[in-house]
Structure 1
Amino acid sequence: MEANRLRILPVNGFWKKVVLPVISLILFISVIAYAVHETTKATVTVSIDGEDVTVQTHASTVADLMREQEWNVHDYDHVEPGLDTDITGNMNITWDTAKQVFVTANGHERSVWTTAENVKQLIHELDIDYKKQDLIKPGLDEDISDEMNLTYESAFRVELTSDGEQQELWTTSTTVADFLERENVSLGELDRVEPALEERIDEETDIQVIRVEKVTDVVEETVAFGTVTRKDDDLANGNEKVVQEGTEGRVNKHYEVVLENGKEVSRELLRTETIKESTDKIVAVGTRPAATNVSRSQSPTQSSEAQSGRTLTVTATAYTAQCSGCSGITATGINLNNNRNMKVIAVDPSVIPLGSRVHVEGYGTAIAGDTGGAIRGQKIDVHVPTKAEAKRWGRKQVKITILN
């Protein structure tokens, strides 16, 4: 035991005298080296999206610092100063991380990466020359966020005519309906718009709002009275007498009137309301034959031809009261204008005395009450109401019988 103790003592002495001092020296040198290492680090302040982070580094460049701190810098990020810049003491570095924004500009969609702080800066980055009338959504002062949706629509001028006013307005609308809604232009049930509401618009579009309304218009009108003729044997042939004066009637006509911008464009009669009935004018027409004065110069033959019951074959044509050069008043004073259906014939008085009652084949009983420049000898001209009937009559041979 004594021998063993004597062998150990030298070892403990060795540790105390040699090993421990060496270890202490190494530790001291390490501490000094660490202290020197730490004190030689550069102090760098990095602003990451506006938040400051201060680090101590031996990195040579900004890129080395980013790798040292395990910060992943993407291609669209903004680092100032650049990644190749050497690190210096008390250096300030700005690192703005890029955000993805989905942009729709005038209908065209694309995705962009940006370090802009707000929409206004991004619009500037995109080289969009905007004006105050353009639509930018969200607004210019809105902060950029990742995966934001940005809409830009360029405004253009449109001419609007509505309610009597014409104005030029800026808009970003795509259709007529959208434009009117944005401009707070309301439409009535009957109103119409040109172009149609669903039509697309551009800077060459002129929009017209046409105000349509339907109103009822009541118009009072007079109704002309008719004229009725009645035969009167007490009146001489060719004479007339008013038995009853005619009076006009009155009616109210109800119209549906369509107005466009205050102007009438159509009118439709809905109903007629009688206020007062008209009264016919009644005229008595004489049928009593006038006395025939036979000239003393007439031959016995002429006198016998005018006697009652005599039958002749004559050439007959037809005429109306409105014929060229006609006045409508016969040679015996009969007013054919007021008696369109009266049976009257024009004769040569030397053959058939004026005022005679006659019967004409195919025409009926009539009064020989008129003459004519072309009516000579065995010719007559029968009176008919219309030119069409005169044409249908034409020229024909007929038998005529003198009744009295």
Structure 2
Amino acid sequence: MVGGGTAFAMDQRITLSVDGERSTVHTYGATVQEVLDSAGVTLDEHDAVAPSLDTELEQGGSVLVRSGRELTLTVDGKSKKHWVTALTVGEALQQIGRNPESLKLSVDPGKAVPESGVEVEATAARRVVILRDRVRIETATTAGTVEKVLEDNGISLGEHDAVDPEPGAEPTDGMVIDVTDVLSEPKTEEVPIEAEVEERENPDLPEGEKEVVKEPEDGVKKVTTAMIMKEGVKTEHVLKEKVVKKPVKGITEIGTKEPEPEIDSSAEASSLNWSALAECESGGDPTAVNPAGYYGLYQFSMQTWQSAGGSGNPAEASASEQTMRAQKLYDMVGGNWQGQWPECGVHLFD
């Protein structure tokens, strides 16, 4: 009787909860480990128990055991595996530091996590900014469209209100949603698009002279306007534009050819046969160069060319300028052509 009474006194009733299943364990053990041993419960690597295994229990104590389960979470295409002891998806997400409300989940947060594990796909909340005249709203959203984001933030669109991006667009992180309250019926009209004119230099045209190569053609665009609220004031605003006819660029050439220098020559010099002289001196080639230092139609030396007012290389001047310089040279030497063109000068009188 004494021995039996002692055994009865040491028997303890402990409440054991394993993955939500409750039972009463009669044990003579004093620690959590001894209670689990009495109940035939073996812990795996990823299981959790509370209190700790070496905790001493008193009559009416309780022990909680949760089995480890594998949670594969894929957020925005990136997957990661986690070991959790939570019984539902929502609890499991919180256990790994994820707020279920900040994710759009492929399963209900209340779904049980089986011992075999669970795979969950999620889309993380996007940070977006809503601009509506003077109102600025910063929010995180898991909505699938811009329109749903606006609805979730208490914004109802009017018939003609403008939204950029489009209401059906998918929100992205950092997106700015611009809402324009349209106060009047939009009106659309055609507006001309003035064509540009490209100006090109033409070295063959006299300096300053213009020649139209291609006429410009104006385009047309449809412009839709309406009254909106801007900074709290009603203002006419362009809602959208659409080009219906592209403008065609015009082309105008502008002459850059410098005018031939005007050189007064005597009637005598003008009446001479300069083409015959040129034929004899250079074969009539204005670009002719003699290695001895003579250039052009009339085989000027650099000294005589410069004395007649020429600049640069005579062979690079126009034929008309070379003839005018030669006539000036003739007048400068008083008609003494023998000193300038001793062999060919006689042809001046052909």
Question: Normalising to structure 2: TM-score of the pair?
Answer: 0.38
Question: Normalising to structure 1: TM-score of the pair?
Answer: 0.34
- Structure showing the higher helix proportion among its residues: 2
Larger Rg: 1
- Structure showing the higher strand proportion among its residues: 1
